[in-house]
Structure 1
Amino acid sequence: MRQTVRGGGVVTLKYLTSTKNSAGVTYFYLRRNGKKTPLGQGPIDSPEFLARYAEAMGATGGAVKSVKENSLAALCNAFRAGTTYKTKSKGYRAVLDRNLAAITEAYGEAPIAGLKPHHIRADLNKLDPHPANARLKTWRLLCTFANDSNWSPINATDGIKRGALPKSDGHTPWSSQDIADFRARWNIGSVQRLAMELLFWTGARTVDAVRLSPSMVGADGVLTFTQSKTGGKAYVPWTCHLPAWASGFEADRQHLLSCLQAGTFTYLETSSGKVRSEAGLSNLISAATRPGISAHGLRKSRLTAIAEAGGSASAIMSWGGHKSLKEAEDYVSTANRKALLIGTEQKQKSANKSDKSANKHSKKLK
């Protein structure tokens, strides 16, 4: 099957096929030389998709477009082959790849020597605040690499500041009613139910949830994994006794354990035994629940539940894998303010305040 991309002309994407799942989401694949390579979702005329298509074509013996010497496209290729790129986490490399593909698509033939700060500002001004700041991080890494490697005598990002972001609480946590409604709709045995219960119990991000496996559960009954985003360790009670403040969580744990199948390589592998993708997991949850909540909202729900149950900031850091105390303290602070209005026992607030005081005291000792 050939599909076309229309812009200033018409480009035919050879060997491109597509399938649509039960939720109506279309996924694309490259079928070439007997190999089927997943390309994810469209739109097929986006820079990100075209970059994935070009990479897959190269891996399967297809033609890869050559780039001009000392051009921005050549710099992007060199950066991908360098140490800085390779030391980033898999999840962050995916973010870099998207931005590098967009930069290459828009400005790839431009010479590095002509790149100036006003060019980068013009590129950022085309984007919304959050994508613009993410793009700026990529530009900074790229320009630092160019300067350090003598591609450019200057760092074109010097003096460019991050844009102001609109105030937002981010992903919406799932309410207890959202959880109950989901459980009523999706029975134990469905992949939707397993995915939700695993995300809800572990508080893991989707990038980490897809690789969680029985091998990560130690003899102490604790699931331990390293987070892709921060490199921090997360410790999730699996079969061990729950701490006293978390005794009310036992029902949630039993829901998850009832969903799990023994003998799998990862808890969320596909029916064909392959590791499920991060995007696939996010789409699965989004298609299975109400609009306005997402897979990441389950993480916020678990961490909020820990704080409201009387868990300390340290407990939130351990379960959620945070490397910074501030974010964990925000959950505790919010829970304490809420407790003033709904009559939560005072000892819960005291425990949380004591934990924060202990952490502040330990900082002074350092």
Structure 2
Amino acid sequence: MGRRMKPLRKKFPGATPYFDRHGKRRWRYRKGGRSVELGTEYGSDDFVERYEAAVKSIRRPVGIDRTIPGSVNDLVVSFYKSPVWKALSDSTKRTYRGHIEPFRMKHGDKPVNQLERRHVMKILAEKADTPAAANNLRKRLMQLLDHAIALDWISTNPARLVKPYKLDGSGFHTWDEGEIARFFQVYEPGTMAHTAVTLMLYTGAARVDAVKLGPWNLKQSADGPRFEYRRQKTLKSNGVLISIPLHPDLAEVLSASADDRPFLATAYRKARSAEGLGNKMRQWCDKAGLDACSAHGLRKACARRLAEAGASAHEIMSVTGHKTLAEVQRYTDAAMREGLADSAFEKLISRPNREQTVVNLQSRFAKNNSKVLK
């Protein structure tokens, strides 16, 4: 009886092919009830990487065993591992995920390299009734597709070829002085509502920062007490330290907070969430009849007051912590425009020969119109 030949050893034991619903052959690793997708290119670098991870029982990123290579899902998983994503603050990540994940759920299996400008226009058109949301999604798509270019999946970014929707107004409503006075009529000193609005109005802090502020942010200096903190939005990038004088009105309100807890702590003495503060602010404003007002509008009101007091854009940035002049410039421009208009009319009214100028202007037109047409 002849010697029995041993079967040839497979290069990738446990890797087996199958055909998906489109008739395309794919590979997967199966062992111990576990199945991991290996892609379509047998022996490729990506195939080997996935295979080795499966064999060593190394847990792959969320969704990798359900991800089609080159798909939107695959791109999002890769983007979530990128340095750009890791540099974002936790609050910014939550906001971005709110835009990315609904798009991913609807288009996750589609190939990125087939995405064209017309597709992006159609996707954004579904949000035409909420243009701000459409523009936010467009920004996230630009980021995702820039990442796809870095991966050499595509050569151009179709999202950048689509114009943003025009928005009515200038975003969140900026509280005016009448609305601020109305709020303080309804909510007296000592109430959480009064404390919250005063704190945000005299620091320019965003919700995510306001809820974390406490006695530990008050510092003594040669010029008196100051408020010092770093914005959560730029914390990972070592944002510039915000250090502002403590306004007397705010100092009076905070004098009642003697214990070691956040100024806007809950009734259980716990730190309040940014979302929780936003919800409470909505309730407080509605009760005061200020439907257009919001927490973010207080940040803009702080910048408005500084601009009206003659502060430059750079001076306002040192208070609000903005990283670019674009946003702050709108406050200074609006405040300066009114002053320039007043100055212009003062010059016109005080001009000694204004009546003569008007008479001469009429005479000139009369002379020009007296010519007979030939």
Give the structure 1 partner of residue 101 of structure 2.
101
Matched, 1:237 2:245: yes
Structure 2 CA distance, aligned partners of 1:64 and 1:340? 58
One-letter code aligned to 1:262: D
**CA deviation after TM superposition for structure 1 residue 327, in Å:** 4.2
Amino acid at match of 1:263: D
Q: Measured at CA, do residues 158 and 294 of structure 1 come closer, stay the same or move farther in structure 2, by a change above 3 Å?
A: closer
Match of 1:112 in 2: 112
Following the alignment from structure 1 to structure 2, what is the Cα–Cα distance between the partners of residues 339 and 156?
44
Specify whether residues 116 and 309 from structure 1 end up closer, same or farther in structure 2 by C-alpha distance, changes over 3 A only.
Answer: closer
Q: Which amino acid aligns with 1:226?
A: R
Q: Quote the residue 1:269 is aligned against.
A: 265
Contact 1:304 1:331 in 2 (8 A): yes
| Deviating 4+ runs (over 6 angstroms) | 63-66, 340-343
- Cα drift, residue 233 of structure 1: 4.0
1:161 partner amino acid = V
Quick check: 1:115–1:156 contact (8 Å CA) kept in 2?
Answer: no
Q: Which runs of 5+ in 1 are unaligned?
A: 1-62, 239-248, 347-366
1:195-251 CA distance string (max 9 Å, x none): 11111111111122122233233332222223344645433212xxxxxxxxxx63x
**What corresponds to 1:69 in structure 2?**
68
Contact 1:72 1:112 in 2 (8 A): yes
Q: Secondary structure at the match of 2:161?
A: coil
Q: What displacement does 1:293 show? A: 0.8
d(CA) in 1 for partners of 2:341, 2:115:
56
Amino acid at match of 1:257: L
Residue-by-residue CA offset, 1:24-54 (whole Å, 9 max, x unaligned): xxxxxxxxxxxxxxxxxxxxxxxxxxxxxxx
AA aligned opposite 1:308: E
Contact preservation (8 Å) 2:308, 2:332: yes
User: How many percent identity over aligned positions?
Assistant: 27
Specify whether residues 292 and 148 from structure 1 end up closer, same or farther in structure 2 by C-alpha distance, changes over 3 A only: same
Change (3 A) 1:222 1:154: same
- Residue 226, structure 1, aligned to residue 230, structure 2: yes
Q: Write the deviation string for residues 34-86 of structure 1: whole angstroms up to 9, x where unpaired.
A: xxxxxxxxxxxxxxxxxxxxxxxxxxxxx989633223223222321332211
Report the equivalent of 2:277.
281
Counterpart in the other structure of 2:257: 260
2:76 and 2:204 map into 1 onto residues whose CA distance is: 35
Q: Separation in 2 of the partners of 1:79 and 1:296?
A: 29
The answer for the alignment partner of 2:164 in structure 1 is 163
Larger Rg: 1 or 2? 2
Separation in 2, partners of 1:188, 1:172: 24
* 1:173 aligned residue: 174
Once residues 213 and 146 of structure 1 are traced to their aligned partners in structure 2, the CA distance between those partners, rounded to angstroms, is: 43
With structure 2 as the length reference, what TM-score do the two structures score? 0.63
Identify the range of structure 1 (69-78 vs 332-341) with the bigger mean alpha-carbon deviation: 332-341
Label 1:65 to 1:175 Cα distance change in 2 as closer, same or farther (>3 A).
same
> In structure 2, the residue corresponding to 1:279 is in which secondary structure?
helix
Does the CA contact (< 8 Å) of 1:188 and 1:259 recur in 2?
Answer: no
Q: Name the TM-score, length of structure 1 as normaliser.
A: 0.64
Q: Distance in 2 between matches of 1:116 and 1:336?
A: 44
CA distance in 2, matches of 1:292, 1:261: 34
Q: In the alignment, what sits opposite 2:85?
A: 85
Greater mean alpha carbon deviation, residues 68-77 or residues 320-329 = 320-329
8 Å contact kept, 1:67–1:74: no
Number of aligned residue pairs: give it.
269
